[in-house]
Structure 1
Amino acid sequence: MRNFRAALPLAAIFAALTFPLPAFVAAQDDAEAGAVAAVQALFDAMAARDAEAIDALLMEGAVFTSTVETPDGVQVRETNGADFAASIGQPGPALLERMWDPHVMIRGPLAVVWAPYDFHRDGEFSHCGIDAVSLVLADGNWRISSIAYTVEREDCPPSPLGPPGN
């Protein structure tokens, strides 16, 4: 009987720590899915060339930073979100950006989505790379505060998504 009483507090502590876990895991999964969905919504808005939809996904002051390795070294370009949205909102070639295997890190209202991607213009492969997207949970919605990405034209791994349009 004494062993039972000694084990009871440990069992209570274990239960208290274990039973809320599924709710936490579900909430974390929902938050991760929401962050990835915000990034996908940006890609969808780019494909639709919808500047208003892009603006709605961005925090004020959002920054886009690209890096390209050249024989002269790494070239870095920065664009603010408003200029990016305006440029994409202009008529032009069909755009398709696809990501896969996103890795998501969340702490409170901050998230980072890191994913390989490929990019196509008018159905033709343009480049691949890594997207690193920082998001902020604002008014219950994930909004993009910055994107840094590599532009790689050679040695791109084949996309597990197959050719565009599949």
Structure 2
Amino acid sequence: MKKISLLILLVIQSSYAQEKEIQNTIERFFNAFHQRDSIALKKVCSENLVLHSISESEKEAKFSVEKAANFYKSIATIPLAIKFEEKILSYKVQIDGAMAHVWTPYEFYVNNKLSHSGVNSFQLYKENDGWKVVYILDTRRR
């Protein structure tokens, strides 16, 4: 009985450690994002990063695609006078081997004023040097 309990405990600890490692990758993504550091962003993202957004209004939902190069450039060129922050409200992490999905509801503030809110859906895969973001789909509503 003790061996089974120990085995269960080890599995739970391993799962928690992996979830924490994935959450840390997302936190590094947002730290780089808030610092306008495209080099640090690239370190946590796949070179084939895919970005999609769904902007929702009362009238319609609009789907958009952004190229990774444009995303990195837009982050690096945000004027320092503009303060922005994406507050992550929670993390829901799902893992299957070298693939992970992270669901993060958020609120986005510009100069301390709520701009919009929504949910980020991150897809990650595990490389030899850690987890990489390969796909981001987010919703945006005012």
Q: 2:87 aligns with which of 98, 101, 105?
A: 98
Taking the aligned partners of 1:15 and 1:87, their CA distance within structure 2 comes to 55
2:35 maps to what in 1?
48
Taking the aligned partners of 1:18 and 1:82, their CA distance within structure 2 comes to 49
More strand per residue: 1 or 2?
2
Taking the aligned partners of 2:128 and 2:83, their CA distance within structure 1 comes to 32
1:64 maps to what in 2?
51
Code of the aligned partner of 2:5: T
Verify the 8 A CA contact 1:55 1:82 in the aligned structure 2.
Answer: no
> What is the identity percentage for the equivalent residue pairs of Structure 1 and Structure 2?
23
Identify unmatched segments of 5+ residues in structure 2. Answer: none
Identify unmatched segments of 5+ residues in structure 1. Answer: 1-13, 154-166
Taking the aligned partners of 2:140 and 2:77, their CA distance within structure 1 comes to 22
- Whether 1:139 and 2:123 are equivalent positions in the alignment is no
- Whether 1:81 and 2:68 are equivalent positions in the alignment is yes
The normalised TM-score by structure 2 is: 0.90
Q: Deviations over 1:79-116 (max 9, x none)?
A: 13232112101132222111122111001111111021
Code of the aligned partner of 2:56: E
Verify the 8 A CA contact 1:103 1:114 in the aligned structure 2.
Answer: yes
| Structure with higher RCO (Cα < 8 A, 6+ apart) | 2
> Max radius of gyration: which structure?
1
Instruction: Please provide the CA RMSD for this pair.
Output: 1.5
1:108 maps to what in 2?
97
